[in-house]
Homo-oligomer: A and B are copies of this chain.
Amino acid sequence: MIRVVVDAMGGDYAPREIVRGAVEGARGRNIEVVLVGSREAVEGELSKCDLERARINTCWAEEIVGMEEDPVRAIRRKPNSSIAVGIKLVRSSQASAFVSGGSTGAVAAAALLILGKKKGISRPALGIVLTSPSGPVLFLDVGANSDCKPQHLVQFAEMGNVYMKRIFNISEPRIGLLSNGEEETKGNKLVRATHQLLAESGLNFLGNVEGQDLPRGKADVVVTDGFTGNVVIKLGEGLGGIFAELSKRAVGNNPIFREVEERILNYTALYTDQGGALLLGVKGNVIITHGKSDAGAMKQAIRLAEQMVKQRVAEAIGT
């Protein structure tokens, strides 16, 4: 049976929404969800839940890593934090996936320090699945590696290729390289060197894609360095919020507005649709949900974790 560990203490709405989402995610599935966190908080929330047909287990961890803490230091100093304890359950093969809405840096640090990197992967990357008119787009790295070398971007492409094949059943994912122009001569030094390597990689490399191509879904996987990727993701979220406000102002109290807002925010609110960001390249399936995730988003994340385990995503990455 698949066992998914959920960090009950991570996220703006923890523990309430996390525990509720965990129960909903487990209900009726052939999986067990292990809630890791403070005994008092988790038991308090669980007592309010209907546990019928939901296999829930618990594991107590009384420390919490704060959002402002230095990630590596926090993981080293707080071995009994919900993040460290949860990741250790994956490390010891007691569970197959870890889901947390806590500090992205701390989860990534714990995964690197405790699980380690897959062979053949020098830099694990954070990927996000974007919505587009032509289907899902896996965009990575969105923040794990601020400075990258060309071979890192090639590894991101290879990991993205595995993910889109296994999770979305795309036989030959189209790989795009984010650049400031379509021609192979365009780009900064990193992008121009990466272009050459991707062209020789054997992947289904489309070439460079530009900013406007990303949300249009021109490629199934788009790779970039973690600095650019992070700026892009945050800009998209910021613009989504502003456009929703602008629509509201234009539409006023017309009930139609709710529909507009929902469509716009669904497009950028990465925490509702796809379950969370993926830390690819470590020895385990790790999902980092948006801090604003509610029970519905957590349920989605648990379903995704189940799918990643079934499709053996972490096993298939690397050499």
Enumerate chain A interface residues (CB-CB to B < 8 A): 133, 143, 146-147, 178-181, 186-189, 191, 210-216, 224-228, 230-243, 246-247, 249-251, 254, 256, 259-260, 262-264, 267-268
Contacts and interface: CB of A to CB of B under 8 A. Distances in A.
The residue in A181, A191, A235, A256 that gathers the most chain B C-beta atoms within 10 A of its C-beta is: A235
A181 B146 CA distance: 11
B227 A191 contact: yes
A43 to B, nearest CB: 36
Contact of A263 (B143, B181, B187, B246): B246
Contact of A212 (B178, B228, B237, B260): B237
Contacts of A181: 230
A156 B226 CA distance: 23
- Chain A interface main SS type: helix
A242 B215 contact: yes
B235 A215 contact: yes
Contacts of A133: 242
B267 A242 contact: yes
A238 B215 contact: yes
A212 B235 contact: yes
A73 to B, nearest CB: 13
Contacts of A232: 211, 231-232, 235
Nearest to A252: B256
A230 B180 contact: yes
Contacts of A267: 242-243, 246
Given A212-B237, A239-B240, 9 more contacts: A146-B186, A146-B188, A187-B227, A211-B233, A211-B234, A211-B238, A212-B241, A216-B242, A251-B256
Contacts of A240: 239, 243
Contacts of A215: 235, 238-239, 242
Contact of A189 (B143, B147, B211, B260): B147
Contacts of A187: 146, 227
21 contacts: A146-B186, A147-B188, A179-B231, A180-B231, A188-B227, A211-B230, A211-B232, A211-B238, A212-B234, A212-B235, A213-B238, A215-B242, A228-B231, A232-B232, A235-B236, A239-B268, A242-B267, A247-B260, A251-B251, A254-B254, A260-B260
